[in-house]
Amino acid sequence: MSDHKRPASAASPIHDLISHRWSPRAFDGRAVEPEKLRSLFEAARWAASSYNAQPWSFIVATKDDPENYKKVLSSFVEFNQSWAKSAPVVAISVAAHKMPHDGSQNRHAFHDVGQAAATLALEATSLGLQVHQMAGIIPDKAREVFGIPENFEAVAGIALGYPGDPMTLPEGRLRDNETGKRERKPASEFVFTGKWGQVSPIVK
């Protein structure tokens, strides 16, 4: 198992769970223990959501279930399939578009599914695992192969497991992304006050 770590170079102190969370594409072949998987989805269960609607669902498969693993993987775009197939666990997050209490449109469904996935990812980090979430999926394919009903929509793909050796990735962009410096735009570019674009003194 690789001990490859990429802690964030934070401008202000942040919790280790946040600084050590990252999105690998190289995964170790080691299976994820069932009790750890249960903890991940228990963490997702306790994410915040508008009206406590909990609009998230997860379709998940491990390599021990090759039929469903292949179905999840087939819902990823070809590029993501090329590296995600090394992960011992793959999943698809799904959002419910309607509020359960009155059937109205849930404008925050994707936001809340993202919160559940982020909570899952932080729990994964605490357990020595890593999660790579991906926009590159084929929602219609996921709907077809898993029978996702109307008013539900596949949101993102997920690959998870123990991080692997970056050198197992093809030489070039994939490997460079795995080993290069992590970068984010500064908080001054997105924390405003007064009017749009006016930087808050909090982050100056």
- Digit-coded pLDDT (tens) for 25-57: 999 999 999 999 999 999 999 999 999 999 999
Give the separation between CA 52 and CA 99, rounded to whole angstroms: 10
**Share above pLDDT 70 across residues of the chain, in percent, rounded to a whole number:** 98
More confident residue, 7 or 5: 7
Q: Is residue 7 part of a domain?
A: no
Mean pLDDT score of the chain, rounded to an integer? Answer: 94
Q: What is the pLDDT of residue 177?
A: 83
Q: What is the pLDDT of residue 3?
A: 65
Q: Is residue 53 part of a domain?
A: yes
pLDDT for 141-164, tens place per residue?
A: 999 999 999 999 999 999 999 999
Q: What is the pLDDT of residue 2?
A: 58
Please give the average per-residue pLDDT across 52-74, as a whole number.
Answer: 98
Q: Which residue has the tokens 């949101």?
A: 155
Q: What is the pLDDT of residue 103?
A: 96
Q: What is the pLDDT of residue 171?
A: 80
Give the separation between CA 131 and CA 191, rounded to whole angstroms: 27
Whichever domain contains 27, its CATH number is 3.40.109.10
Q: What is the pLDDT of residue 180?
A: 81
Examine the pLDDT at 170 and tell me if it is beyond 90: no
Q: What is the pLDDT of residue 100?
A: 95
Q: What is the pLDDT of residue 168?
A: 86
Q: Is residue 189 part of a domain?
A: no
pTM above 0.85, yes or no: yes
Beta strands, E only, the chain: 56-62, 89-96, 130-134, 152-161, 192-193, 195-199
More confident residue, 165 or 37: 37
Please give the average per-residue pLDDT across 59-66, as a whole number.
Answer: 97
Q: Is residue 192 part of a domain?
A: no
Per the structure, how many domains does the chain have? 1
Q: Is residue 200 part of a domain?
A: no
Q: Is residue 50 part of a domain?
A: yes
Q: What is the 3-state secondary structure (H, E, C) of 17-28?
A: HHHCCCCCCCEC
Examine the pLDDT at 1 and tell me if it is beyond 60: no
Q: Is residue 106 part of a domain?
A: yes
Q: Is residue 100 part of a domain?
A: yes
Give the separation between CA 27 and CA 160, rounded to whole angstroms: 8
